[in-house]
Amino acid sequence: MRAEDDFTRRAGALLRAAANDLKRDDENAERELGLERGSFAEFAAGTRPVTWELMRRAAEVWPLNERDLLPGHDDCPAGVRITRHKESVASGRVLSRGGEPYYEYRDTAMSRIASYRPEWIRMLRVVEDDDPDNPLVQWNRGHLLYQFTYFIGPVNYYYRWNGVSHCVPMDTGDSVWGLPFAPHSFTSRSATEPACILALTYGGSLLGDAQRELAVLGNATTRALAVPLEGAAHRPGAMIRSFMDAGAVTVAELADRTGLTRERAEELAGGAVPPGPEELDLLADALGVSVRDLLAPRTGAADGVSVQFARDARSWVWPDEGAPAYRMTRLAGDPLHPHTSALRVDVLADGAERSAPLTTYQHQYLYVLGAEPVTLSWEFGGRCVEETLAPGDSAYVRPQVPVTFAAAEEGRRAQILLLRISGSVTPEVRYAVGTMAAGGVDRYVAEDRLWYS
Ligand SMILES: [Fe+2]
């Protein structure tokens, strides 16, 4: 199917799904949207493209947003989307800070399917110390996106948290993961050696629908909904309190349902003390939720960042010692984002047949580090494809697409950076899809009919 036809079909499916949600049959939909008789079925089936005017009209007369009717673009129909080094070079632009050239940016592989914004960045500012207050350092104001950074060469990394500035001298193989809106900067410690970073920014679940919803709800509501992770003892309390609010449960009622004393129920709901394992079970039962719903994530970030130096990074072979295809090295990450994983892959296998496919549920970004080319092969839609990637080439890989790396020539040990992130398909969504009635999955991804017949 042509990409354009596929887009039209998915737009039609969204229109049908919206009409179903609002309990409109074709005739009602046509009347309310001012469409000619018999045309709604054509729009919904994708044989007639949904127009901007139709979306505008639907958003006017129905309680929905234009965005609800807009499908995503599929710019990766082959399963993998490659950006060649020379395309990256062609996208290069120098950005000035304080009126002087500060960074050279180059785009690397991106896709509309995933919220990655991966940039190769060269530091143009050279410093001679590790002083975070060096006036040569130009700080940004921080940005919404989370940032995973991989360092190549003598790069100084600066970050500021709660008004305190830090500088960490980095070298090739070091990496860092950072929280949104923390000001940061990078400089080079050498006028001759290349000093670059791969700055892989991504929004995760903060972007998209959540951001739009909160932008409408406003500041005060967003602040009220925010759950701080500071103060470990308070962690489960926030969720217990939320579920009590949701179910209009009083402390007395919680005590009654759990069999705990009123004082203990009060303590747990207040977050002054964390519940013990048995109490968690009792609370989950009483509130009609799963234990996991009461638990807060943990974070290893100190002052907004999690640093991983190459010298103490864990490394192991995959899939096993007997026939190792890759040496894996774990790069920076944080438990706050359990579905983000960063790896450096040293390719050990000489041919695809001696290598092993890697598959994950995440969106994948890869960048060829070092000086050696690599053969990338993958399977998608019943087709097997093989491409040689040169140093500086990068690619986006769709979830669940098995990719295999092998030396492009015997003995040439390529090195690849892999950053894997989950998109909007959170565990909640995966469980929800997994519990649909028979036939539900096909209809969820492309509803094409009335909900009754
Ligand atoms: Fe950044």
Q: How far is the CA of 306 from the centre of ligand 1 (A)?
A: 14
Q: How far is the CA of 406 from the centre of ligand 1 (A)?
A: 32
Cα dihedral: 344, 87, 374, 171 (round 10): -30
Contacts of 428 (CB under 8 A, 6+ apart): none
Q: In this predicted model, what pLDDT tens digit does every residue of 128-180 receive, in sequence order?
A: 999 999 999 999 999 999 999 999 999 999 999 999 999 999 999 999 999 98
Provide the token pair at 258.
Answer: 């759990």
Q: In this predicted model, what pLDDT tens digit does every residue of 405-449 receive, in sequence order?
A: 999 988 899 999 999 999 889 999 999 999 999 889 988 888 778
Q: How far is the CA of 73 from the centre of ligand 1 (A)?
A: 26
Q: Which of 186, 184, 178, 177 is nearest to 105 (CA)?
A: 186
Q: Does the pLDDT of residue 311 top 60, yes or no?
A: yes
Spatial contact of 390 and 83, defined as CB atoms under 8 Å apart:
no
Q: In this predicted model, what pLDDT tens digit does every residue of 169-204 receive, in sequence order?
A: 999 999 999 998 999 999 999 999 999 999 999 988
Q: How far is the CA of 223 from the centre of ligand 1 (A)?
A: 24
Q: How far is the CA of 200 from the centre of ligand 1 (A)?
A: 8
Q: Does the pLDDT of residue 357 top 90, yes or no?
A: yes
334 assigned to some structural domain: yes
Identity of the amino acid at 423? G
Q: Which of 203, 201, 202, 200 is nearest to 212 (CA)?
A: 203
pLDDT at 204: 82
Q: Does the pLDDT of residue 387 top 70, yes or no?
A: yes
- Per-residue confidence at 270, pLDDT binned at 50, 70, 90? confident
H/E stretch holding 16 reads: helix 3-21
Q: How far is the CA of 147 from the centre of ligand 1 (A)?
A: 6
Looking at the 3D structure of the chain, how many domains does it have? 3
**Plot region of 218 (φ>0 → left; ψ -120 to 50 → alpha; else → beta):** left
150 assigned to some structural domain: no
Q: How far is the CA of 203 from the centre of ligand 1 (A)?
A: 12
Same domain, 330 and 314: yes
Q: How far is the CA of 116 from the centre of ligand 1 (A)?
A: 13
pLDDT at 233: 46
Q: Any idea what the Cα angle at residue 376 is, between residues 78 and 6, rounded to 5°?
A: 5
278 assigned to some structural domain: yes
pLDDT at 235: 65
Same domain, 288 and 367: no
Spatial contact of 91 and 107, defined as CB atoms under 8 Å apart:
yes
User: Which range has highest mean pLDDT (84-93, 198-207, 349-358, 433-442)?
Assistant: 84-93
Same domain, 284 and 242: yes
Beta bridge partners of 148: 177, 200
Residue 328 belongs to domain spanning? 310-421
Q: How far is the CA of 74 from the centre of ligand 1 (A)?
A: 27
Q: How far is the CA of 433 from the centre of ligand 1 (A)?
A: 34
384 assigned to some structural domain: yes
Q: In this predicted model, what pLDDT tens digit does every residue of 29-70 receive, in sequence order?
A: 999 999 999 999 999 999 999 999 999 999 999 999 999 999
Which of 250, 269, 294 is where one domain is finished? Answer: 294
Same domain, 379 and 434: no
Q: What is the CATH number of the domain that holds 382?
A: 2.60.120.10
User: What is the average pLDDT across 311-328?
Assistant: 96
Q: In this predicted model, what pLDDT tens digit does every residue of 237-259 receive, in sequence order?
A: 889 999 999 999 999 999 999 99
Cα end-to-end distance, the chain, whole Å: 28
Same domain, 338 and 278: no
Identity of the amino acid at 239? M
347 assigned to some structural domain: yes
User: What is the average pLDDT across 89-105?
Assistant: 95
Q: How far is the CA of 201 from the centre of ligand 1 (A)?
A: 7
User: Could you give phi then psi for residue 156, rounded to 5 degrees?
Assistant: -90, 130
Q: How far is the CA of 184 from the centre of ligand 1 (A)?
A: 7
CA distance 432 to 429: 5
CA distance 209 to 114: 14
Q: What is the CATH number of the domain that holds 270?
A: 1.10.260.40
33 assigned to some structural domain: yes
Q: How far is the CA of 160 from the centre of ligand 1 (A)?
A: 12
pLDDT at 178: 93
Same domain, 376 and 285: no
Q: How far is the CA of 143 from the centre of ligand 1 (A)?
A: 7
Same domain, 280 and 325: no
Q: Does the pLDDT of residue 453 top 50, yes or no?
A: yes
Same domain, 69 and 15: yes
98 assigned to some structural domain: no
User: What is the average pLDDT across 321-336?
Assistant: 95
CA distance 238 to 274: 11
Same domain, 244 and 338: no
Same domain, 319 and 409: yes
pLDDT at 234: 53
Q: How far is the CA of 305 from the centre of ligand 1 (A)?
A: 12
CA distance 240 to 284: 9
Query: In this structure, what DSSP letter does residue 259 have?
Result: -
- Per-residue confidence at 298, pLDDT binned at 50, 70, 90? confident
Q: Any idea what the Cα angle at residue 198 is, between residues 228 and 300, rounded to 5°?
A: 25
Q: How far is the CA of 334 from the centre of ligand 1 (A)?
A: 17
DSSP letter string over 96-139? EETTEEEEEEEE----TTS-EEEEEEEE--B-SS--TT-TT---
Name the least confident of 2-16, 209-223, 240-254, 376-390: 2-16
Same domain, 354 and 266: no
Q: Does the pLDDT of residue 2 top 80, yes or no?
A: no
Q: How far is the CA of 284 from the centre of ligand 1 (A)?
A: 40
CA distance 206 to 218: 15
Same domain, 321 and 416: yes
pLDDT at 272: 76
Q: How far is the CA of 94 from the centre of ligand 1 (A)?
A: 15
188 assigned to some structural domain: no
Angle between helix 277-287 and 235-246 (nearest 10): 20
User: What is the average pLDDT across 91-95?
Assistant: 97
Q: How far is the CA of 340 from the centre of ligand 1 (A)?
A: 17
Percent of the chain topping pLDDT 90: 83
Contacts of 57 (CB under 8 A, 6+ apart): 33, 34
CA distance 368 to 352: 17
